[in-house]
Amino acid sequence: MNITIRNAESGDNLKIHLLQEEIAKLHFDGRPDLFRQEARYYSDEAFSEMLNDSNHFIFIAENESGEIAGYAFAYIIKYRGHSTYRDFDMFYIGDICVLSTYRRHGIGKKLFEKCKLQAINSHCDNIDLGVFSFNRDAIAFYESCGMSERMRRMEMRID
């Protein structure tokens, strides 16, 4: 399977809706008390703003016929003068998604490696992301990429 990773273009916004629908379903199925069932989409304006922001990165995985198989959204967070943390730059991966029909073919790994390369080229100190505890496949994937748990967020639901 020949997959290319490239920077997103404005026309990709509509093309990633199917992937966003799959993510919405995964999250809703995992935590229906927390997530809406319907997918959220970026407006053309918001998508364009991210494309034009030098601290935002959107990478697209596509096959040889131009079908989008996955994407990654990431951005740089600059901690400066924080009361607790030292100054550092964090490369935050907000979302990596691979279409279910393309999973387990190394596409997620290629997207992660593209993010890692961008983090290195941007002189970031670390890569960070959040993953819900119900998403065991994602946890295993990120661990296989070299990520490790740094912090645990706890909750107590009040009925």
Q: Is the model's pLDDT at 138 over the cut of 90?
A: yes
CB 27 within 8 A of CB 130: no
Residue 159 in this model has a pLDDT that exceeds 90? no
What domains can you pick out in the chain, each with its CATH number?
3-144 (3.40.630.30)
Share of the chain above pLDDT 90, in %: 97
Q: What is the pLDDT of residue 151?
A: 92
Rounded CA separation 41/56 (Å): 17
Q: What is the pLDDT of residue 24?
A: 94
